[in-house]
Amino acid sequence: MNTIFTNAIKTAGLLGLLMGLCLGIGWLIGSTQGLILGFAIGGGMTIISYFFSDKIALMTMRAQQVSREEAPELYEMTERLAQRAGIPMPRLYYSPEPAPNAFATGRNPKNGVVCVTAGLMQMMDRKELEGVIAHEIAHIKHRDILISTIAAVIAGAISQIAWFMMWFGGGGRDEEGNGSPLGLIGALLMIILAPIAAMLIQMAISRSREYAADARGAALAGGPEGLISALRKLETMNQRIPMQINPAERHMFIVMPMTGGGGMAELFRTHPVTEKRIAKLIEQMTAENPYAAA
């Protein structure tokens, strides 16, 4: 539980940093109206997406809802894990996508959805599948769709404010309204760097939520072994089998489709590097039971 608590604190801090960046831009341009307009435009589409994210994602994946009769083992596994997490049974969907993956969506636990792909069902054994489903249940339990939406709203507002500054001017002016060279340079840097900074913070929030879902998912499944094995398979196969999806939906999946390497590129990832996730799970397992890692 320490891992979950640590990531919750980290997420709160990153959201605060993102909000502070947005308010700081508003203060620099000296326009409350611009700040409000940026929030209205930057957040409007994201809020709409929040309420319809499940329908959009499921339609993109050509997913169909499955019943207990159609997939009894998967249904009962999901139902059992949901009961352990203390949330309603999410709706189950199946996508014909050959790449092994899964995602959770829905604006709150009452509207939760778990979707699995054909590739996942074919490649995972029962223990691995349980680890994957537990991870997705943890996302629903943590209300990660809401957290991601808040981050996206603020990041979108920052991008819109920067766009307004570029096209309509703002910042870099003295009391008489004359342009200041240093101020103009600062405004230009803000226009370029602020959206990048906002995106980096948004990606960091997404990675933090993945670590938290891994930790809670391992606890729900009764141990991290299945999830660790599943992550290794998913990392390998998703680099072999491409999945063409909207980049805005990549954060929803248990592993990021068509993943890249670490290093600086890691800053722009919605998911942590898989080996780091596995290392965290092993660290958690060792802390709970010093003999388990052996």
User: Would you name the residues annotated as active-site residues?
Assistant: 136
Q: Are strands 91-95 and 113-117 parallel, antiparallel or unpaired?
A: parallel
Nearest to 144, CA basis, from 112, 176, 168: 112
Nearest to 104, CA basis, from 87, 122, 128: 87
Q: Are strands 91-95 and 102-105 parallel, antiparallel or unpaired?
A: unpaired
101: Cβ contacts below 8 Å, ≥ 6 apart: 117, 119, 120, 234, 238, 243, 253, 254, 255, 257
